Amino acid sequence: MGKAGRVACIFTPYVFTIAALICIIMVGLGCTNSTSNTLNDLYFLRVNIQNMSSGSATTQKIDQILSENHITNVDTQDVQDFLKQLQNGNSELKDFYSIGLWGYCDGEINNGKTDTTWCSKPTKAFAFDPIKVWKLNDSQVKNELPEDYTKLMNAYRAVAKWMFAAYVVAFVATLVELLVGIFAIFSRWGSCVTTLVSLVAFFFTAAASVTATVLYSVMEGSGTAALKAYGIKLDMGKNMYAATWLATVFALGGALFWTFSVCCCSGRSPYGHRERHNRGSVTAEKAPYTYEPLGPTGQGQVPYGHQHTTSYPPPPVHGHDIPGTNQRSNAYEPFRHV
């Protein structure tokens, strides 16, 4: 396979790598620009507090949910106190809060449509803390929250930090993969190095996707059951998870095809290699059933491979029976392979 075939073989994993990089960039850009509807639809989790209420109907619903889930450490009065603190403590609460990789966005819900009005400044290893975001009084709110709230937030921050680091490493490794992939066009050694980098990119992309999916699935599942009593809804962003898992699939495809380029795609032409191997050699052909002397007539033996005449003298006359007169000066080789 020549250079043209080598380039064609590298083209496929290169396309996969570019697609993976684009998807990772989309994940990072989610919830960073309030004026972009596309980026505002990229979020891991959205908290909807539009219908949060502390009325009598809500209180009855809270009693029912607490009894169905066998929750005994929280009663109806605790919930009412928390809702009053939440509603009266800050009049700037928005209808929803969308959580991204670098920060969050908030906005209003009008006629069932979300309108993002503000996004936070990007922060590395971001973790959404309701107390800080909603600007609540820590001393009063903590009295109404479960005792394990601090432990849960610490665990959430640790997982969010690892997830952020995994996405950063995946982005850098994918970018390096594109740069190193240029050298893969010229040699298999370039493909070998690119394959190693692609495996690193795939590992961290998959790890980040799994972490994000598990983390926010647990938050959505447990939070929905607990916060349903407050009229708060949680939902996961389909577009964000589609982007992160597409990045994983593309990274896997790139790693597989980079590996294939090491094993099966060579930039060396087999015809040119054969010509170089046979350069300087002479192909001799000998007719079948012929005899050839080991040396020329009237001369001694010559080294093998030197040119010599193949003309033979007529056989001697057998009319004289003198010993030694019928001896031939040359020996014959019946079948010699050239």
Q: What is the pLDDT of residues 266-285, one digit of tens each?
A: 555 444 444 444 555 545 45
**Domain annotation covers residue 307:** no
Averaged pLDDT score across all residues of the chain: 77
Q: What is the pLDDT of residue 320?
A: 53
Q: What is the pLDDT of residue 227?
A: 72
**Domain annotation covers residue 294:** no
220 CB neighbour count, 10 Å cutoff: 18
Contact 47, 230 (CB under 8 A): no
The bridge status of strand 113-119 relative to strand 233-236 is unpaired
Total domain count, the chain? 1
DSSP string, 260-325: HHHHH---S-HHHHHHHHHTT-------TT--EESS-TTS----TTS------PPPPPTT---TTT
Indicate which CATH number applies to the domain containing 98. Answer: 1.20.140.150
Q: Could you say which residues of the chain have pLDDT below 50?
A: 55-57, 269-277, 282, 284, 298
Contact 87, 136 (CB under 8 A): no
44 vs 235: CA distance, rounded Å: 9
**Domain annotation covers residue 203:** yes
Q: What is the pLDDT of residue 56?
A: 43
**Domain annotation covers residue 285:** no
**Domain annotation covers residue 269:** no
Q: What is the pLDDT of residue 150?
A: 79
Shortest CA distance to 31 belongs to which of 103, 139, 127? 103
- The parent domain of residue 161 ranges over 3-264
* pTM reported for the whole predicted model: 0.70
